[in-house]
Amino acid sequence: MDHRMGEPLVQSRLFGDGRSTYDLYGLVGRITSNSKSPQPPERDNPGGWASLCGSGSRIPEAATTPAMAEVLSVTADSVARCQARAAHKVLNQVVLPGEELVLPEHDDVDGLGGAGEQQLRLNAGTRPRMRVICGPGLRRCGDRLLVTKCGRLRHKEPGGGSGGVYWVDSQQKRYVPVKGDHVIGIVIAKSGDIFKVDVGGSEPASLSYLAFEGATKRNRPNVQVGDLIYGQCVVANKDMEPEMVCIDSCGRANGMGVIGQDGLLFKVTLGLIRKLLAPDCEIVQELGKLYPLEIVFGMNGRIWVKAKTIQQTLILANVLEACEHMTTDQRRQIFARLAES
């Protein structure tokens, strides 16, 4: 059948409301890929946001100024007095770099015996400690957690026996490549066997031409300079140049690869991207109800969006950029107005 540009959008529109349209292109992988199988981040990993997007705790909206000021004054006091606070008391509050947090001690919960019975322990002196994972914005410092970024402290309850994850929710526009992140990159050079891809970090990432689905030495992928690539970072640390691939560990593309022509690429803050990629994000669901669209979120702050007409694409881009600064009510008003017109 003769396939023309714009064809699928027409067909999907005829099928009903826009909600299911992005499923038709198999883009579910792209949108929710960051919340699939959460791998626990490495200890002392300054990055590692990918798994945390799948956290259960909803990230609330920004606090109003008086509350913020109060909280800031409390933290400032504690920092001034160089006291370490208990981590579980500071949850969802603003922490500043340099603060130390004390992890709660874990009491014996084996209620086998009564009050008088005591367990015999091999290591009688030490108490058992929970395994706590410190996420982005925190660093281990002896027994304690040292805060390295300013933001709100979050905690995720563990499923298994370990103590859970602590991290700091901070806001940032500049991206630092992190292993495991799915990012949108722009191809800037082709040299020999690799493409140089700009992901917004200090160095361009290298992408081998074999790292595409179905690519062999004879069958090279059709990638030009200036194309957009959606891929995953496999090597990203401060000592080496980052490397990315467009293929997962099983050899399947899974939504990664060259992003099609047309559409608009724009940049937002990293915090907004994480908010949009959280599971059950209202914004994405409401967007899907408005028009049929294709959308790709990169953890480096880049969003690629494509709708049927240029005007719709522009509206979507402006709405997403504005979502950063709008409260929930304002956003609902805007969506209601767009849905009417």
Partner 1 sequence: MKETPLSNCERRFLLRAIEEKKRLDGRQTYDYRNIRITFGTDYGCCIVELGKTRVLGQVSCELVSPKLNRATEGILFFNLELSQMAAPAFEPGRQSDLLVKLNRLLERCLRNSKCIDTESLCVVAGEKVWQIRVDLHLLNHDGNIIDAASIAAIVALCHFRRPDVSVQGEEVTLYTPEERDPVPLSIHHMPICVSFAFFQQGTYLLVDPSEREERVMDGLLVIAMNKHREICTIQSSGGIMLLPDQVLRCSKIAGVKVAEVTELIQKALENDRKVRKEGGKFGFAESIANQRITAFKMEKASVDTSNIEEKAEEIIAEAEPPPEVVSKPVLWTPGTAQIGDGIENSWGDLEDSEKEEEEEEEGGTDEAVILDDTKMDTGGISDIGSQGVPIVLSDSEEEEMIILEPDKKPKKIRAQTASAKEKAPSKSQVKRRKKKRAAN
| Among positions 17, 70, 105, 262, the unique one binding partner 1 when judged by CB under 8 A | 262
| Among positions 67, 86, 130, 314, the unique one binding partner 1 when judged by CB under 8 A | 314
CB of 308 to partner 1, least distance (A): 6
**C-alpha span between 273 and 145 (Å, rounded):** 26
Binding mask 138-177 for partner 1 (x = CB under 8 A): ----------------------------------------
With beta carbons less than 8 A apart as the criterion, state whether 237 and 289 touch: no
Residue linked to tokens 């009903």: 16
Q: Give the count of alpha carbons within 13 A of 108, CB side only.
A: 14
CB of 194 to partner 1, least distance (A): 17
CB nearer partner 1, residue 145 or residue 228: 228
From 185, 252, 277, select the one nearest 26 (Cα to Cα): 252
Backbone angles phi, psi at 159, to 5 degrees: -85, -40
Residue 295 pairs with which residues in a beta bridge? Answer: 305
| Among positions 213, 265, 331, 335, the unique one binding partner 1 when judged by CB under 8 A | 265
With beta carbons less than 8 A apart as the criterion, state whether 134 and 164 touch: no
| Among positions 97, 158, 264, 335, the unique one binding partner 1 when judged by CB under 8 A | 264
Asked if 51 is part of the footprint of partner 1 (rule: CB under 8 A), the reply reads no
The number of residues making up the chain comes to: 341
* Total interface residues for partner 1 by CB under 8 A: 47
| Among positions 202, 285, 330, 333, the unique one binding partner 1 when judged by CB under 8 A | 202
Residue 78 CB neighbours (<10 A)? 17
Asked if 309 is part of the footprint of partner 1 (rule: CB under 8 A), the reply reads yes
- The sheet that has 144-147: what strands, in order across it? 85-86, 100-102, 144-147, 138-141
CB of 261 to partner 1, least distance (A): 6
Binding site for partner 1 (CB under 8 A): 1-4, 6-7, 10, 13-14, 62, 65, 68, 186, 188, 198, 200, 202, 224, 226-228, 259-265, 291, 304, 308-315, 317-318, 321-322, 324-325, 337-338, 341
